Amino acid sequence: MSKESEKQGLTRREFLNATAMAGVAGVSLGGGLMGMSPAFAAKSASGNATVGLGELDEYYGFWSGGQSGEVRILGLPSMRELMRIPVFNMDSATGWGMSNESKDVLAGGGGPYFNGDAHHPHMSMTDGRYDGKYVFINDKANTRVARIRCDIMKTDKITSIPNVSAIHGLRVQKAPYTKYVFCNAEFRIPHPNDGRDLTDPSKYRTMFSAVNAETMEVDWQVIVDGNLDNTDADYTGKYACSTCYNSEGGVTLAESIANERDWAVVFNIPRIEKAIEKGMFTTLGDSKVPVVDGTHGSKYTLYIPVPKSPHGLNTSPDGKYFVANGKLSPTVSIISISKIDDWFAGKLKEPRDTIVAEPELGLGPLHTAFDGRGNAYTTLFIDSQIAKWNVDDAIKAYQGKKVSYIKQKLDVHYQPGHNHTSMGETRDADGKWLVALCKFSKDRFLPVGPLHPENDQLIDISGDEMKLVHDGPTFAEPHDCMIVHRSKMKPLKIWKRDDPFFANTTAMAKRDGINLTTDNKIIRNGKKVRVYMTSIAPSFGITDFKVKKGDEVTVVITNLDMIEDVTHGFCVVNHGVSIEIGPQQTASVTFVANRPGVHWYYCNWFCHALHMEMRGRMLVEA
Ligand code: K7E
Ligand code: CUA
């Protein structure tokens, strides 16, 4: 052990002690945390997971960026932020929303929109295990679903979901492979929403949608009662289950919370698929997506009454249970998946016969994560705690046996929403780390104005006791995250020349007779000018080009550098033009040259000692 790590170890112990003390004294953790060691020194309390300077993390964490519309990659356990992936937002650094390639992706989602509200990132799976291929994420704000390619860590598809409003809950089909991405639309609207039934909420409906993971088209939709919230899938491919509030069908708050119980709704995927195969579906308005009626009493769904306004829905990694989190009720409802089989086989009397336990955990249970050793970890929004409890013990207690199922309650920072365990939504749940995403940071960090950061906390769950090991601010508003072992990931270090991400641009070059890796040429076509150039540090293949005022200019750049991390940029001063061009990538941007004069363009990604000199002139004739 080096002097430095010894010192960090000591600070760690002091920190843990301070936390334990603060736990007794309520939740005023301030002083004890101020002196904690830097984030990169996060260390498991069992002493086996230090990430030293220059060492690589064991896990990739994918964080949703909430209202920022992006996805972030953190290394765990260090909690170092590694990358931001623009998805629904515009991004000045990478030119997302400016480059033609990103505009093509964004166009798939309708719009134009410049905002997103990204809550739930989830990776594609095979046999209930992460496959490292895609991450899918919802946009509640503009009713969209996006896909990120994990080899290049860029968004490659965005789909606008028809017939519904506000996609919230999102999860993937876990087995046999991710054929579908399941998406819950939250708000109820008239069907179709074309101006009819405006003031008749009894006609409003929402739907559960299955997006095809490869084509990103909506394969089918299911009409439901109530408002859909969160969702998860089982480990056989047969079921998805969604929490559902507002069984009343109300439009005001009071109307929506009148009933004592709402539902967890189970979708029978094979039955829905069979109905669609047989043509037993309708369509709505202009949409061609097959729609089946899964409202109360339908053979496609099962409505299980649970305490009102349930929120998170989580499948245990042994594949046995769906857990619906109570939110307004201090309980979670444990639903047996084999009893769902029994229900659909006609063997049960009441939908609630599928519930095998309803343990009381504390105030405001929102989301539950699992460690693969039979324990569950539930965020208590109101208590600002994580409750660790044992699933089997909770079931025994429900059967009347005298066992205490709560193992520990850990104070976390104010109002935790989601939590997530390492590999915890897969068969590989390894019970090492738990992240709590807290909505407030209050006085925890240097004040930065009325808008405060939020607070991510990392908890070591490898031992018998949960131990808080990291506490760090984060920008608006990570709803959720997902923790993937690095062995599952194979990101590229430089682009492949035939990458489909820029296939449209390559096709355009081909039509223009251009060889992208050798040619530096200007093609004119009336008022359209296409400037093809290469780049190799520290110069652009074309250092000046002339256009006329009002010309529509498309600049296409191919970065010939083969060296990892030598990214160039292309920025035209006073034109709102800025794009990223990674090694071996082709990227393009189109703009109107509407001001006569000399306009310099420059490389805005540091690439070379002569990076400042990597520039050229656009000469615009009056
Ligand atoms: Cu609980 Cu959108 Cu998953 Cu917020 S959701 S916390
Ligand atoms: Cu190229 Cu900086």
Write out pLDDT tens, residues 444-500.
999 999 999 999 999 999 999 999 999 999 998 999 999 999 999 999 999 999 999
From residue 120, alpha-carbon distances to 19, 147, 184 in Å are 30, 12, 11
What atom of ligand 1 comes closest to residue 230's alpha carbon? 3
Residue ranges lining ligand 1, Cβ < 6 Å: 119-120, 168, 230, 311-312, 366-367, 417-418, 479-480
Mean pLDDT of 24-45: 37
Mean pLDDT of 311-338: 98
Of the ligands numbered here, which is closest to the C-alpha atom of 138?
1
CATH number attached to the domain at 165-192+203-358: 2.130.10.10
What atom of ligand 1 comes closest to residue 119's alpha carbon? 2
Which pLDDT score, from 0 to 100, does residue 21 have?
A: 35
Q: Are the C-beta atoms of residues 230 and 185 closer than 8 Å to each other?
A: no
Residue given tokens 């997530």 in the structure block: 420
Residue 266 has pLDDT above 70, yes or no: yes
Start and end residues for every CATH 2.130.10.10 domain found in the chain? 165-192+203-358
- Identify the band that residue 297 occupies on the pLDDT scale cut at 50, 70 and 90: very high
What atom of ligand 1 comes closest to residue 417's alpha carbon? 6
Residue 309 has pLDDT above 70, yes or no: yes
CA of 608 to the centre of ligand 2 (A): 6
CA of 205 to the centre of ligand 1 (A): 21
Please report the sign of the dihedral spanned by the C-alpha atoms of residue 125, residue 130, residue 131, residue 133.
positive
Mean pLDDT of 202-223: 97
Which pLDDT score, from 0 to 100, does residue 430 have?
A: 98
Residue 362 has pLDDT above 70, yes or no: yes
CA of 66 to the centre of ligand 2 (A): 32
Residue nearest (by alpha carbon) to ligand 2 atom 1? 568
- Identify the band that residue 1 occupies on the pLDDT scale cut at 50, 70 and 90: very low
Which pLDDT score, from 0 to 100, does residue 35 have?
A: 33
CA of 570 to the centre of ligand 2 (A): 8
Least confident of 6-20, 142-156, 195-209, 424-438: 6-20
Mean pLDDT of 78-99: 97
- Identify the band that residue 389 occupies on the pLDDT scale cut at 50, 70 and 90: very high
Give the distance between the most distant pair of CA atoms in the chain: 87
Residue ranges lining ligand 2, Cβ < 6 Å: 537-538, 568, 603, 605-607, 611, 614
CA of 482 to the centre of ligand 1 (A): 13
What atom of ligand 1 comes closest to residue 418's alpha carbon? 6
CA of 493 to the centre of ligand 2 (A): 18
- Identify the band that residue 53 occupies on the pLDDT scale cut at 50, 70 and 90: confident
CA 373 to chain centre: 26
pTM: 0.92
Where is 255: in which H helix or E strand?
Answer: helix 253-256
- Identify the band that residue 271 occupies on the pLDDT scale cut at 50, 70 and 90: very high
What atom of ligand 2 comes closest to residue 611's alpha carbon? 2
Residue 16 has pLDDT above 70, yes or no: no
Q: What is the rounded distance in angstroms from the CA atom of residue 517 to the CA atom of residue 531?
A: 14
Residue 249 has pLDDT above 90, yes or no: no
Residue 330 has pLDDT above 90, yes or no: yes
CA of 366 to the centre of ligand 1 (A): 8
Which pLDDT score, from 0 to 100, does residue 52 have?
A: 87
Q: What is the rounded distance in angstroms from the CA atom of residue 458 to the CA atom of residue 468?
A: 6
Which pLDDT score, from 0 to 100, does residue 51 have?
A: 86
Residue 28 CB-density burial (10 A; 0-12 exposed, 13-18 middle, 19+ buried)? exposed
Which pLDDT score, from 0 to 100, does residue 29 have?
A: 33
Return mean pLDDT, the chain.
Answer: 92
CATH class of residue range 502-621:
mainly beta
Of the ligands numbered here, which is closest to the C-alpha atom of 117?
1
What atom of ligand 1 comes closest to residue 479's alpha carbon? 4
Residue nearest (by alpha carbon) to ligand 1 atom 6? 417
Residue nearest (by alpha carbon) to ligand 1 atom 2? 119
Q: Are the C-beta atoms of residues 517 and 541 closer than 8 Å to each other?
A: no
Of the ligands numbered here, which is closest to the C-alpha atom of 606?
2
Q: Please state, for a pLDDT cut of 70, what percent of the chain lies above it.
A: 92
Start and end residues for every CATH 2.60.40.420 domain found in the chain? 502-621
More confident residue, 532 or 36: 532
Residue 18 has pLDDT above 80, yes or no: no
Q: Are the C-beta atoms of residues 183 and 208 closer than 8 Å to each other?
A: yes
pLDDT digits (tens, 9 = 90+) for 120-175: 999 999 999 999 999 999 999 999 999 999 999 999 999 999 999 999 999 999 99
